[in-house]
Amino acid sequence: MTDAMRPMASRDIATGIAITLILFALALNLPVIGFFLGVFIPLPVLFYRVKLGRRMGFWILGLTAGVMTAAMGKLSLDVLFYLELLVLGFALGETLFMNLSLERTILYTMGAVLGTSGALLLLYGILSPVGIGTLISDYVLNSLKLTLAIYEKMGVSEDAVQLISDSLDKIQYVLVRILPALAVGSALFVAWVNLLMARSMLGFKGLFFPDFGPMNRWKAPDVLVWGVIASGVFLLFPSKSLKMIGLNGLIILMGVYFLAGIAVVSFFFEKKGFPRFLRLILYGFIFMQQLVCLLVIGMGFFDTWINFRRMGTPPTKSE
């Protein structure tokens, strides 16, 4: 790097750190909107990794991680979560230069994130006076109690709050055992969203981005149908362990088919020429409405056979 380029690189590093920390602060302090903004924490790391290279990108990752840890006061599961968002952004930036398919780019990124998450979680468990199982169980229970308190402040009926309160132990039991699927599903969703955003930002700045083709033409691999069938079969067994394996498998695959369904929705938004602001409103509606989410998942699943976008079929004379 030349002397003339160093001030510009330093400014970019400072900008990347500042943007990431702003998103981090908003995610911590805004209960609902902050959750959605937190999804984009990996984006500045990804963007400046591509723009500045591996070494400068790693500086952004390391310095931001240090400030985040200091701001939280101590090492905790929450800190590990935010650190892994930074790792996701950096790993995604690395895989963009590996000339991989879209699926492998996402899979390699998730592998890096889940691998480092497991290592950090194991280390944290070793350093903690209690076991990792107890740590996770207590963390889930505290999160449920916090959610219950938020519901009370939002004016949810006393009967509903009491029903949830009486079922906390059962909810905790299930949540602890589906955490692997929730971790995989979350990493998948965050990686996909940041990849979409990075494509627009990097393209606008004239920076490198691999040619994955139109991402709204993507469909889930056909072989995943067998995973859905196998997971459903596991749910039929009387063993609780096998039921949880099946439930974890279904949750992960539902995440994949949700992205496939969103690709179908995006395809038709584009085909019908929907304005960008209207698309954003409709996407927000999809994410907020559970029933609509299930419909999108079903669309992604049945696209395997129905081929909603008519991809790979010759046009008819009327077309």
Per-residue pLDDT for the chain (319 aa), expressed as one digit of tens each? Answer: 554 455 677 899 999 999 999 999 998 888 667 778 899 999 999 999 999 999 999 999 999 999 998 988 877 788 888 999 999 999 999 999 998 999 999 999 999 999 999 888 888 878 777 778 888 888 888 888 887 777 777 776 777 778 878 788 888 888 889 999 999 999 999 999 999 999 999 999 999 999 988 888 999 999 999 999 999 999 999 999 999 999 999 999 999 999 999 999 999 999 889 898 999 899 988 988 889 999 999 999 999 998 888 876 444 433 3
Task: Based on the fold, state whether residues 82 and 189 are members of the same structural domain.
Answer: yes
CA distances (Å), origin 218, targets 78, 167, 302, 304: 33, 40, 14, 11
Task: Based on the fold, state whether residues 122 and 269 are members of the same structural domain.
Answer: no
Task: Based on the fold, state whether residues 92 and 197 are members of the same structural domain.
Answer: yes
Assigned domain for 34 exists:
yes
Q: Which domain holds residue 268?
A: 214-309
Assigned domain for 136 exists:
no
Q: Which of 175, 208, 241 lies at the terminal end of a domain, its last residue? A: 208
Assigned domain for 172 exists:
no
* Cβ–Cβ < 8 Å for 165, 159: no
Identify the CA nearest to 251 among candidates 309, 175, 166: 175
Residue 262 identity (one-letter amino acid)? I
Assigned domain for 294 exists:
yes
Task: Based on the fold, state whether residues 237 and 117 are members of the same structural domain.
Answer: no
Assigned domain for 144 exists:
no
List Cβ neighbours of 46 (8 Å cut-off, separation of 6 or more). Answer: 89, 90, 92, 93, 194, 198
- CATH code of 14's domain: 1.10.1760
Give the pLDDT score at 5.
Answer: 52
Task: Based on the fold, state whether residues 192 and 301 are members of the same structural domain.
Answer: no
Task: Based on the fold, state whether residues 199 and 244 are members of the same structural domain.
Answer: no
Task: Based on the fold, state whether residues 38 and 82 are members of the same structural domain.
Answer: yes
Alpha carbon distance 127, 273 (integer Å): 55
Assigned domain for 268 exists:
yes
**Please, what's the b/e burial string for 191-219 (b: 16 or more CB within 10 A of its CB; e: otherwise)?**
bbbbbebbeebbeeeeeebeebeebbebb
* Chain centre to alpha carbon of residue 72: 22
Give the pLDDT score at 34.
Answer: 78
Task: Based on the fold, state whether residues 232 and 189 are members of the same structural domain.
Answer: no
Give the pLDDT score at 314.
Answer: 43
Assigned domain for 167 exists:
no
Task: Based on the fold, state whether residues 201 and 295 are members of the same structural domain.
Answer: no
**pTM of this structure:** 0.88
Task: Based on the fold, state whether residues 194 and 260 are members of the same structural domain.
Answer: no
The structure tokens listed for 248 are 């974890």
Assigned domain for 283 exists:
yes
Task: Based on the fold, state whether residues 65 and 199 are members of the same structural domain.
Answer: yes
DSSP at 210: -
Task: Based on the fold, state whether residues 44 and 188 are members of the same structural domain.
Answer: yes
Count how many domains the chain has.
Answer: 2
Helices vs strands, H then E, count in the chain:
13, 0
* Cβ–Cβ < 8 Å for 83, 68: yes
* Chain centre to alpha carbon of residue 94: 17
Give the pLDDT score at 6.
Answer: 58
Can you tell me whether residue 91 is helix, strand or coil? helix
Q: Which of 157, 173, 208 lies at the terminal end of a domain, its last residue? A: 208
Alpha carbon distance 69, 2 (integer Å): 33
Q: Which of 208, 243, 272 lies at the terminal end of a domain, its last residue? A: 208
Alpha carbon distance 263, 20 (integer Å): 28
List Cβ neighbours of 198 (8 Å cut-off, separation of 6 or more). Answer: 43, 46, 47, 50, 92, 96, 209
